[in-house]
Structures are given as structure tokens and as C-alpha cells.
């Protein structure tokens, strides 16, 4: 069955910031760098849509496996199966 809507459907509360955190955020989040093997937590920055992952992976912990352009390849367990997703560094927090 085909899903109707975009990848951000049903994310009213998952991908929103609290009102106290709205506004500009540190620009250093754009240029942070990670090495292969670093553990990261996927934490969406809702004001930046570029390089945003699917909502199922929100809050998951993964391991950086490589770099692709300005984004990173992250291996995340989805149940028992490892999946590789491409994430912009804005949406990642070092563990």
C-alpha cells in the first residue's frame, strides 16, 4: 500500500521544538565533524530540512560509517536489521 503524504506526516510533536528553544541556533552545528566509528544520537533540527532522516529513526543511536558530501553515513539498528542512512551533521549529537 502506498503511503499518502510526505516523510514528515504525523510528526507534529516529534519534529517540533519547544517554544523556549525557537529562533537561531549555533552555527557550529553545521560545521561539526565526526570520525568513522563515532557514536551519535539522531536529534532532528526541525528548522533545517536538508539531510533530515525518516521519523522512525528519531532519538536512535548509531555509528558513523563514512562521509558523503557534506553529510555522513550512519548505521542504525531498525529492529534487528542494521540500516544505513545519510544524515546532515545538524541533526546529529555526539554521544
- The DSSP result for the chain, as a single string, is -PPPS-TTTT-TTTT---GGG-S---THHHH----TT-EEEE---TT--TTPPPGGGTT-EEEEEEEETTEEEEEEEETTEEEEEEE-GGGEEE-
pLDDT per residue as tens digits for the range 72-85: 999 999 999 999 99
Q: Which of 19-23, 63-67, 90-94 has the lowest mean pLDDT?
A: 19-23
pLDDT per residue as tens digits for the range 25-51: 888 888 899 999 999 999 999 888 888
1 pLDDT above the threshold of 80: no
CATH class of 31-94: mainly beta
Domain boundaries, the chain: 31-94
What value does the mean pLDDT take over residues 61-88? 96
Amino acid at each position: 500500500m502506498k503511503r499518502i503524504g510526505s516523510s514528515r506526516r504525523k510528526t507534529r510533536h516529534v519534529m517540533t521544538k519547544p517554544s523556549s528553544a525557537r529562533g537561531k541556533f549555533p552555527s557550529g552545528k553545521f560545521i561539526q565533524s565526526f570520525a568513522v566509528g563515532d557514536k551519535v544520537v539522531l536529534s532532528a533540527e526541525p528548522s533545517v530540512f536538508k539531510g533530515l532522516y525518516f521519523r522512525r529513526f528519531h532519538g536512535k543511536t548509531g555509528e558513523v560509517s563514512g562521509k558523503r558530501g557534506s553529510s555522513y553515513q550512519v548505521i542504525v539498528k531498525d529492529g534487528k536489521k542494521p540500516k544505513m542512512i545519510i544524515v546532515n551533521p545538524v541533526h546529529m549529537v555526539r554521544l
